[in-house]
């Protein structure tokens, strides 16, 4: 296969090498499988995309809305004085 390079195994080690057999890292299912069921009307009417977008929007605008709320409270407190 060509010349050996630094770090390569010797020919004797290669001939003595054995292939691993059996389960090296067995894959186990951690969760129980759900049985098939009918999709409910609530599931049909809800959109995961819309829910994701709304949640992302709320998270993104939370700080801005909080700052506006504080500014409004301060303004109302100043009006009362």
pLDDT in tens, 13-47: 888 888 888 878 888 888 888 899 999 999 999 99
- CA nearest 69: which of 59, 79, 77, 57? 77
pLDDT tens per residue across span 56-70: 999 999 999 999 999
**pLDDT over 70 (residue 1):** no
Question: Quick one: pLDDT at residue 20?
Answer: 81
User: Global pTM?
Assistant: 0.43
Q: What is the DSSP letter of 75?
A: H
Q: How many residues does the chain have?
A: 81
**pLDDT over 80 (residue 2):** no
């Amino acid at each position: 296969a060509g010349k050996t390079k630094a770090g390569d195994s010797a020919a004797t080690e290669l001939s003595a090498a054995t292939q691993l057999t059996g389960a090296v890292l067995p894959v186990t299912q951690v969760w129980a499988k759900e049985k098939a069921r009918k999709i409910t009307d609530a599931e049909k009417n809800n959109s995961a995309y819309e829910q994701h977008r709304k949640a992302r929007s709320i998270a993104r605008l939370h700080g801005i809305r909080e700052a506006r709320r504080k500014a409004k409270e301060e303004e109302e407190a100043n009006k009362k004085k």
